[in-house]
Amino acid sequence: MSIEVGSKLQGKVTGITNFGAFVELPGGTTGLVHISEVADNYVKDINDHLKVGDEVEVKVINVEKDGKIGLSIKKAVDRPERSERPERPERPARAPRSDRPRDSHRPQRNSRGGNDFRSKETFEQKMNRFLKDSEERLSSLKRHTESKRGGRGAKRG
C-alpha cells in the first residue's frame, strides 16, 4: 500500500516516547506522531492521551526520502471549516487633539477622578518623554558610578 501525504489511515500505537508515539500503519510500515500533533491543546505527558495498543486514526503529514513518515492525530479529526473572521466594525472618528504638550511628570485626571496615564499623547510625545527620562536616568547613573570609581567627577585627595 502506498502511503501518500494527506491520506487518513487507521493505525495501532506500538511505542511511546517522551517526544511522541510510534504508530504501525497498514502494510507494516511505522510512522511517528510527534507530541505536538497528538491533541489541539498542550500535551505535557503523552501517556495521558495514548497507550500502547490503542487504535488511532492518523493523517499522513509528510514522508521523508529516507522512509520516515510523519503523522498527526489532531489533523485527522474532521472539523467544520472555520469561516473567515468577521470584519471589525469601524471606529468612530476622534476629535482633534490639542497641540500643547502635557506635563510629563504628572498624569492627567480623567472624568472619574482617576489617572488616564497619558493615553491621549501622540507617539512623538511619548517618544520624546521616553528619551528625556532615559537621558536623565543615564546621566544620573553615570554620575553615581563615576564617583564610586574615582572617575572625572570624583574628588581626589
Q: What is the pLDDT of residue 91?
A: 75
Q: What is the pLDDT of residue 56?
A: 93
- 30-34 and 8-17 as β-strands: parallel, antiparallel, unpaired? unpaired
Distance, in Å, from the CA atom of 14 to the CA atom of 21, rounded to the nearest integer, reads: 8
**φ and ψ of 55, to 5 deg:** -90, 125
Q: What is the pLDDT of residue 54?
A: 92
> Please, which residues have CB within 8 angstroms of residue 35's CB and are 6 or more apart in sequence?
18, 19, 20, 43, 46
> Where exactly does CATH 2.40.50.140 map onto the chain?
8-72
Q: What is the pLDDT of residue 27?
A: 86
Please give the model's pTM, rounded to 2 decimal places: 0.50
Protein fold of 8-72: OB fold (Dihydrolipoamide Acetyltransferase, E2P) (2.40.50)
| Regions of the chain with pLDDT less than 50 | none
Kindly report the CA angle at 125 between 124 and 127, in degrees rounded to 5?
Answer: 65
Rg (CA), the chain: 31
Q: What is the pLDDT of residue 100?
A: 52
Q: What is the pLDDT of residue 99?
A: 53
- For 31, the 3-state DSSP assignment is strand
> Please, which residues have CB within 8 angstroms of residue 124's CB and are 6 or more apart in sequence?
none
